[in-house]
Amino acid sequence: MSHHNKHHNMTEKVQEPATTNEFEQEEKVTNEQEEVSEQIENNVAEVAQEENLQDKLQQLEQQCADLTDQKLRMMAEFDNYRRRTNKEKLDLMKTAGEGIFKDMLPLIDDFERALKAMQETDDITALREGIELIYNKFNSFLQKNKVEVIPTEDAVFNTEIHEAITTFPAPTEEQKGKVIECTQKGYTLDGKVIRFAKVVVGE
């Protein structure tokens, strides 16, 4: 082998390791760059996710504030409604009571005139007619205010509206369990018993 060939082979053997090292170094740098790029992407994704969570948190906080404000408004409105309703009820009760007593005043006037007439006249017929007139006017007043007499004549005894003060042998078979006599009238107000009728029941 010539001197020139030996020198050429030695050169190739010396250059080959250098080429391999450069390739490995380049691959290493590339891998590091990829790792850095991946890390940057992960960091960016984390930051974006964190920002998204912050936005969602702000939205939830705003919704919570809106709901709290809405609740306070509703509570205030309900409180105002309750106060207004209670006031209207009280006003209605006062007005209703005022109306009843106002309607009773003419009856008082009639009684005063009847008392005065009893002192000034001996006309029994006229006095009776005056008292009957007052009585009829008073019944009309009661009916106007939904006060009605509880029926007792030939009525079947009913513990819901009648109060039996005693029993008495029934004159006939048909009158057993029925009201024979009413000793005190009973009344209802708008369908509700305000005083039971006191009765004698046949047995």
Q: pLDDT per position in the chain (203 positions), as tens? A: 444 444 444 444 444 444 566 667 777 777 777 777 778 777 777 777 877 888 888 889 999 999 999 999 999 999 999 999 999 888 887 777 788 888 899 999 999 998 998 888 888 898 899 999 999 999 999 999 999 999 999 899 999 999 999 999 999 999 999 999 999 999 999 999 999 999 999 99
Beta bridge partners of 193: 188
Nearest Cα residue to 183 out of 171, 170, 195, 169: 195
Q: What pLDDT is stored for residue 7 in this prediction? A: 46
Burial 130-143 (b: 16+ CB within 10 A, else e): beeebeeeeeeeee
Give the Å distances, CA to CA, from 48 to 51, 57, 61, 114, 202: 5, 14, 20, 99, 95
Dihedral angle at the C-alpha atoms of 153, 157, 158, 164, nearest 10 degrees?
Answer: 100
Phi, psi (5° rounding) for residue 177?
A: 80, 5
Could you give the CA distance from residue 36 to residue 31 in angstroms, rounded to a whole number?
9
Which residues, in sequence order, are CB contacts of 165 under 8 Å at separation 6+? 183, 198, 199, 200
Q: What pLDDT is stored for residue 160 in this prediction? A: 96
Could you give the CA distance from residue 184 to residue 196 in angstroms, rounded to a whole number?
9
Which helix (DSSP H) or strand (DSSP E) does residue 123 occupy? Answer: none
116 three-state secondary structure: helix
How do strand 179-184 and strand 187-189 relate by DSSP bridges?
A: unpaired
Could you give the CA distance from residue 145 to residue 123 in angstroms, rounded to a whole number?
34
Could you give the CA distance from residue 136 to residue 150 in angstroms, rounded to a whole number?
17
